Copies of this chain bind each other. A is one copy, B any other.
Amino acid sequence: MAEARSVDTRERILDAAEHLFMAHGYEGTSMRQITSGAGVNLAAVNYHFGSKESLMQEVFRRRLDWLNDERMRVLNALESEAAGKPLKPSQIVDGFFGTLLRMADDEERGGVTFLRLLGRTLTDPSEFIRTFLAHEYAEVVDRYKEALFKALPDVPKAEIVWRFHFMLGATSYAIAGTDALRLVTDWQIEEEDSTDRLDRLVPRLMSFLLGGLRSPLPQFSSPTVDL
């Protein structure tokens, strides 16, 4: 029972931390906010996780291990079904970004809270979390990059990697969902409630990403343009 309580406490701390880091950022969240939000003692974080940094890493690991396994599973399934032939770009984009976005509906996996935390962390990384994320993502990103190279053999690899970045950025911002410029305020009332908005975000974003990915290549002044 003591151990059962302990697992509970860990989860409660992780849930509180996830929510607070999402709302106020890593630096903007104190151990006191986390422990009081979780209803546990101030010392509990250090006992269970060792430090605030380790807690932050555990917040991400808890979700990303599943997400990246799932992305691998999806890509493996697609590739074995394609039997060596290149995949369609839309399949690859959906495997990577669609799998992420579908976490929004899955409260067991953190739901929108985790998505928003991930989105803001990708542009706001302290060195320790950047190193951690890079390691956590390395294998999956590599596999998806290779799949895109195969799917778009006429597009220079450098262009594909850049567009991967742009897709990641559009997605991060969309899921961070802060609407810093309050672009949304004036029309959101008249048209859709918030669940509709989330449901429709996915197809909207996917069509935007694919449009960007397949857009005509830019013309540089320099002579080295492959297509």
**How close is A156's CB to chain B, nearest CB, in angstroms?**
9
Q: Provide the residues of chain B in CB contact with A203, threshold 8 Å.
A: 218-220
Instruction: Say yes or no: A174-B165 contact (C-beta < 8 A), given A27-B28, A200-B220, A207-B215.
Output: yes
**How close is A52's CB to chain B, nearest CB, in angstroms?**
13
B208→A183 contact, CB < 8 A: no
Q: With A and B bound together, what is the CA distance between A191 and B134 in angstroms?
A: 22
B170→A212 contact, CB < 8 A: yes
- A205 at interface, CB cutoff 8 A: yes
Q: Provide the residues of chain B in CB contact with A141, threshold 8 Å.
A: 181, 183
Interface residues of A in 167-199 (CB under 8 A from B): 167-174, 176, 178-184, 187, 191-192
Q: Provide the residues of chain B in CB contact with A187, threshold 8 Å.
A: 157-158, 161
**How close is A135's CB to chain B, nearest CB, in angstroms?**
9
- A66 at interface, CB cutoff 8 A: no
Among A168, A203, A217, the one with the most B-chain Cβ atoms within 10 Å of its Cβ is A168
CB closest residue in chain B, given A130: B180
Q: Provide the residues of chain B in CB contact with A130, threshold 8 Å.
A: 178, 180
Q: Provide the residues of chain B in CB contact with A157, threshold 8 Å.
A: 187
- A73 at interface, CB cutoff 8 A: no
In the complex, per-residue mask of A133-170: 1 if CB is within 8 Å of any chain B CB, else 0: 11001100100010000000000011101111111111
Interface stretch (choices A8-16, A76-84, A98-106, A114-122): A114-122
Residues of A within 8 A of B (CB): 24-25, 27-28, 119-126, 130, 133-134, 137-138, 141, 145, 157-159, 161-174, 176, 178-184, 187, 191-192, 200-201, 203-220
A-B contact pairs, 22 of them (CB 8 A): A24-B27, A25-B25, A25-B126, A28-B126, A123-B173, A123-B176, A130-B180, A134-B182, A161-B183, A165-B173, A166-B208, A168-B173, A169-B174, A170-B170, A170-B173, A173-B173, A207-B215, A207-B216, A207-B218, A210-B215, A211-B214, A211-B216
